[in-house]
Every structure is written in C-alpha cells, then in structure tokens.
Amino acid sequence: MMKNYFEMSGYQVYTAFDGREALEKISFQPDIILLDINMPEMDGISVCQRIREHVTCPILFLTARIESRDKIIGFKAGADDYIVKPFDIDELGARVEAYLRREQRKQAKTVVRFFDDLCIDYLKREVTVKGNIIPLSKKEFEIVELLSMNVSGKI
C-alpha cells in the first residue's frame, strides 16, 4: 500500500524485506528512508545506527511500538521522526514532502558565509573569527548554522 502510494506520487521506491537487505539498498543513495523497528534478520534500530555511519538523509521509523522509551531509543539511534502505527497515509506523505523540502534547502545553502571578521564554513562545520577557529560542540554549531542561515540583518 505504501509503495503504491509513493509511486503514484512520483517517487522512486526501493523496498527491503529485512534489515540486511535494507543495508544493501543504501547503495542507491535514497533521499529519505522509512524503517520499521520490527524487521527480520536485523532490527530497525540496528539498521538505523549502521545507516547513520554512511548517510545523512532523513530516517523515519514507522512502528507499532508506542512506548516513550522505544521512541527515545529510535531517536538516539539516528531517526529523524517516529510515527506510530496505525497512521494516516496522507499524513505520512505530507511528512515525507516536508523532510524532502528541508533537505533541498540544506543542499541549496551557501558553503561559506562571511559577516565582517566572522566566517562560517558549513561543509567543514567550522567557525572562525579573524582567522582563529572557535571550538564549538555539534549542537553549538547547529545553532550558529540555524541562526546564520536565517539572518536578515547584521550579526
């Protein structure tokens, strides 16, 4: 049902029967990944962790597991969203579209931005002031990135 829905919406869809096959499909470089936690061979959490070693595309869990603990484990494994079954297929389609729009905006952004003596290199994930590297944690850089990509005035 999902495969047909997305194909009719114009998407190219790859499916996998189990976790190992899902890992093999990563070579197709998908734009988004929909995973179930309960899969044969290798569970979705393990697959997600392995995938995150190689790709940065959005990963959405579609699962019957409803406990908060399961959701937290899913997010910590690298999922971007966690959708509990049963779900509305149109809502899933809207979420997929939203994630893909966000990915397009990321890819379209400038590689380096300058604000007077401040330089932000998005590829290197590095901030410098007057040529001196400012050590930032991953979260700190993400905040700088978010703010700098949405700036309308002077920093």
> CATH no. for residue 125?
1.10.10.10
pLDDT at 21: 93
For 2, 8, 143, the CA distances from 139, given in Å and listed in that order, are 34, 38, 6
Token digits for 80? 């971007």
Q: What percent of the chain has pLDDT over 90?
A: 57
121 and 100 share one domain: no
- Shared domain for 38 and 99, answered yes or no, is yes
The overall average pLDDT reported for the chain is 88
154: in domain: no
Cα separation of the two ends of the chain? 49
Phi, psi angle pair for 117, to nearest 5°: -85, 0
pLDDT in tens, 38-91: 998 899 999 999 998 888 899 999 999 999 999 999 999 999 999 999 999 999
